[in-house]
Structure 1
Amino acid sequence: MARHTCEQALQMTIESEEELTFSSESEDDEYLDDEDLHFEEGFDPAQDTFSQENVVPSRAPHTGMAQKHRSFFSAVENLNECGNDCEQIPVAKRAKKTLSWREETDVDVAPKPRRFLPAREPGPQLSPADSHSPMSLFKLFFSESAVSNLCHNTNAQAARALAQGRKYSWTDVSVGELYRYIGLVFYMAMVKMSSIADYWRQDSLFSVPFPATVMSRDRYRTISWNLHMSHPDADKENDKKRGTAEHDRLFRVKPLMDTIRLACKAFYHPRRNVTVKERLVACRANAVMRRFMKAKPTKLGFKCFVLTDSSNGYTVDLSVYTSKNIFPSDHGLSYDAVMSLLDKKVLGSGYHVYMDDFYTSPKLLTDLFAMKFGACGTYRDYRKDFPRSSSNALTKKSTRGSIRWIRDGPLVCVKWMDKQEVSVCSTIHAAYKGDCVQRKVKVQDAWRKKTFPCPAPVSAYNQHMAGVDLSDQLLQYYTAQHKTMKWYRKVFLHFLDVAATNAFILHKELHGNMTHKGFVEELIGELCGVSQKTAPKHTNIDHVKNIATAGRRMRVHCKAVHGKKL
């Protein structure tokens, strides 16, 4: 399949994409509805159900609660719970409605594999024969037109601040200067100091000379204070609509967010295995969209739903959660979040989607199967429509490596006893194909490796969900995040991280001759307009002599005069 040019790829994506519509948002605290409270705890009210017994749901992805709940798995119900009404049901129908868990020795047949038909050839939509510098790849996401719009809105915000009585000097920022500003942001991600002011200190052995050669400290600060992705006059009009359906909570970030999302999809097409997961952008600013996630290392911030390529961690698409679900269907937030990221017109068909237990439900997996998408994910036993049968089920006394499974059409639900019970369902795999895993077990006061059988969906899940972990890992290596009091600037810094990481992945796919650190270093040099090989001029050597010991002063003097140490 011939590769599209960048412009053709971008145009194809723009024509086929159906943008998400988000609910209104206020910067002030608002009352959180029931769905928000459920989401903060990791629940989806449209998917999760609870029994009337005294059971406290756990945040842990896998719990042994199959025996404590009563629900339906498709049209199947346990006859033991029917009571006297079962006597009125014909015997043939009774037999059809009886389900019990099967073992690994029972043969399971996977659904017929869906043919993989991507809309474009998977991989970078750029010619590998061309040379691509880090700067040119970064500009695919932060193009000069996008940066020009940032400059226009930033200058307008500065003019508004000065009109309101702010006391600082300001000259309009240009495209080149804003690229240098972004370069300094990445430099601060590489060279960590305790505060922004420390990058311009000149009275310490630990001072760094480079930032002062790019721009002054006051200039960097004023640009940071006024950085704006939307026009302040349009912000004012949007703020007047607070409390109405017309108010857009993401208005301040949407211009740049739309550009980033289009570029992510235009210049790279994912391979067959993709992952869906949430990503938390740390933020303590006072905004309703801020979420608390107990299970995350960074517990407070903005939540993004992310689609990534499992093979390399490339961010294919993302959407920012606004604390209210305003998607078109009534199937719950988790269902709609996945469906909004999987655009069949853009992706094609035959993809395998992996997800965690927040998203997984029988309704989602069967609907994706009807769309010619395979899916696999961990699930929660108490979630609606998952099997509750206790016949031949796993118990706490089950031996390690025990497998139980139930199939309903294309959907198979598998339980596996590892250190604890693991629950996975899939429309891609057979329940068990002979896979094994090694675990360390204690035998006669000594730890030894032992082999245990492992279900096929569990093996595939562990393999491909590592892609989203790789994506988060790459983002955190040289993250541009730092403290700021405005929530939309935290989102802006996250867009910088996504753009730089995706640019690195593209470079690695096309050329593969540069480390992540080397890529970021060269990108900083190009953004700031300096050569990485040319060291900036240092301050007067007397600065070192005056604070050094006598012995060091002698060694520095001898090296300067004679070209060698004493």
Structure 2
Amino acid sequence: MCQYTGKTSPCRQYTKSKPHPWGFKIWGRASVSGILHDFEVYQGGDGKRTELGQGADVVLKLTSTLQENWRYKIFGDNLFTSLPLISELNKKGMFYTGTVRTNRVPKCNLQNEKVLKRKGRGSYDSYEEEVNNVVAVRWYDNKAVTLLSSLTGVQPLAQAKRWDKPSKEHRFYNMPAIIQSYNKNMGGIDLLDSFLAKYRFAMKSRRWYLYLYWHFLMVAVINAWNVYRRDSRLLKLPKSEMLNTVEENSKLRLLTVSSL
């Protein structure tokens, strides 16, 4: 979300669950390191939604710029995940992993949350759908979470370290491979949002499009910083030769540019 509380823009949206509910909703595709690769500013419904639903349409549009049959691995949350989406990505030679809402897998006979809770933390159940080569896994941690994937399944099991209140010590619980893969690769957009929050600009303008301009200007700066860090690691530069963060390096100065 790009924060905007004015009332002059036709693109302004309200999203209750966001820290800044009023603003411009932006769909984005980012890598694990937080580099934004593609985006689309949501401008409201246009009546062109397909039978796949809004979430699937967004994923297909943002992945349309990727070359097909290159075995890309796509990760998304429960807003986007559905079996029809995974089927369409399979046709393009792309893999998908994501959390899913239970009403989107009605014929998937997984054990419900109450049964898994009785078995205890670390319990899980899985189901394989052979037509689309998809695995559904429900795992119980603090509560049950369900995931779909055309890439990863249950095996090999990993170990999740959790604090156990009754024994007052850390314990290890079984964690399916799909959970480990999702936790490792998901969160690029959240990471980008955290960077933007640290260097959020303070400006006011009657022209609503300037808010989007400044937002993507900061995204470009953050992208450049992330690309620099990535390339420095690939070139195996010593840490003494690499630039630090803005807060730690006195050579870097954050310039405040007045609004037009």
Give the shorter-chain TM-score range. Answer: 0.7 to 0.9
Q: CA distance change for structure 1 residues 348 and 388 in 2, over 3 Å: closer, same or farther?
A: closer
Kindly state the Cα deviation for residue 336 of structure 1 after the two structures are TM-superposed: 0.9
8 Å CA contact 2:69–2:94 kept in 1: the answer is no
Kindly state the Cα deviation for residue 294 of structure 1 after the two structures are TM-superposed: 2.1
8 Å CA contact 1:504–1:516 kept in 2: the answer is no
Contiguous gaps of at least 5 residues in structure 2: 234-241
Q: CA distance change for structure 1 residues 406 and 520 in 2, over 3 Å: closer, same or farther?
A: farther
Kindly state the Cα deviation for residue 333 of structure 1 after the two structures are TM-superposed: 1.3
Corresponding residue to 1:521 among 237, 252, 258: 252
1:452 is matched by which residue type in structure 2?
A: Y
Instruction: Report the aligned-residue RMSD.
Output: 2.6
How far apart in 1 are the matches of 2:48 and 2:39?
15
1:303 is matched by which residue type in structure 2?
A: K
How far apart in 2 are the matches of 1:325 and 1:374?
29
Tell me the residue number matched to 1:422: 145
8 Å CA contact 1:438–1:450 kept in 2: the answer is yes
Q: Does 1:389 align with 2:112?
A: no
Q: For residues 135-166 of structure 1, what are the alpha-carbon distances to aligned partners after superposition, in whole Å with 9 as ceiling and x for unaligned?
A: xxxxxxxxxxxxxxxxxxxxxxxxxxxxxxxx
Corresponding residue to 1:493 among 192, 211, 214: 214
Bigger strand share: 2
Matches within 5 A, 1:57-136: none
1:521 is matched by which residue type in structure 2?
A: L
Q: CA distance change for structure 1 residues 320 and 344 in 2, over 3 Å: closer, same or farther?
A: closer
Matches within 5 A, 1:355-366: 355-366=76-87
Tell me the residue number matched to 1:341: 62
Corresponding residue to 2:73 among 330, 352, 355: 352
1:374 is matched by which residue type in structure 2?
A: F
Query: How many pairs does the alignment contain?
Result: 243
Corresponding residue to 1:309 among 16, 31, 38: 31
8 Å CA contact 1:355–1:465 kept in 2: the answer is yes
Q: CA distance change for structure 1 residues 299 and 485 in 2, over 3 Å: closer, same or farther?
A: same
How far apart in 2 are the matches of 1:487 and 1:520?
34
Q: Does 1:401 align with 2:132?
A: no
Q: CA distance change for structure 1 residues 479 and 397 in 2, over 3 Å: closer, same or farther?
A: same
Q: CA distance change for structure 1 residues 515 and 293 in 2, over 3 Å: closer, same or farther?
A: same
Tell me the residue number matched to 1:436: 159
8 Å CA contact 2:121–2:142 kept in 1: the answer is yes
Tell me the residue number matched to 1:448: 169
Q: Does 1:299 align with 2:30?
A: no
Q: CA distance change for structure 1 residues 519 and 304 in 2, over 3 Å: closer, same or farther?
A: farther
Kindly state the Cα deviation for residue 426 of structure 1 after the two structures are TM-superposed: 0.5
Bigger helix share: 1
Q: For residues 169-223 of structure 1, what are the alpha-carbon distances to aligned partners after superposition, in whole Å with 9 as ceiling and x for unaligned?
A: xxxxxxxxxxxxxxxxxxxxxxxxxxxxxxxxxxxxxxxxxxxxxxxxxxxxxxx
Q: For residues 458-487 of structure 1, what are the alpha-carbon distances to aligned partners after superposition, in whole Å with 9 as ceiling and x for unaligned?
A: 111111113222222222221235333332
Kindly state the Cα deviation for residue 345 of structure 1 after the two structures are TM-superposed: 5.0
Which SS does the other structure have where 2:29 is aligned?
Answer: strand
TM-score (norm 2): 0.84
Kindly state the Cα deviation for residue 342 of structure 1 after the two structures are TM-superposed: 0.6
Q: For residues 303-324 of structure 1, what are the alpha-carbon distances to aligned partners after superposition, in whole Å with 9 as ceiling and x for unaligned?
A: 10000011x2110011000111
Kindly state the Cα deviation for residue 452 of structure 1 after the two structures are TM-superposed: 0.7
Which SS does the other structure have where 2:25 is aligned?
Answer: strand
> Which structure is richer in relative contact order (CA contacts within 8 A, separation 6 or more)?
1
Which SS does the other structure have where 1:372 is aligned?
Answer: coil
Tell me the residue number matched to 1:412: 135
8 Å CA contact 1:325–1:333 kept in 2: the answer is no
Kindly state the Cα deviation for residue 520 of structure 1 after the two structures are TM-superposed: 9.1
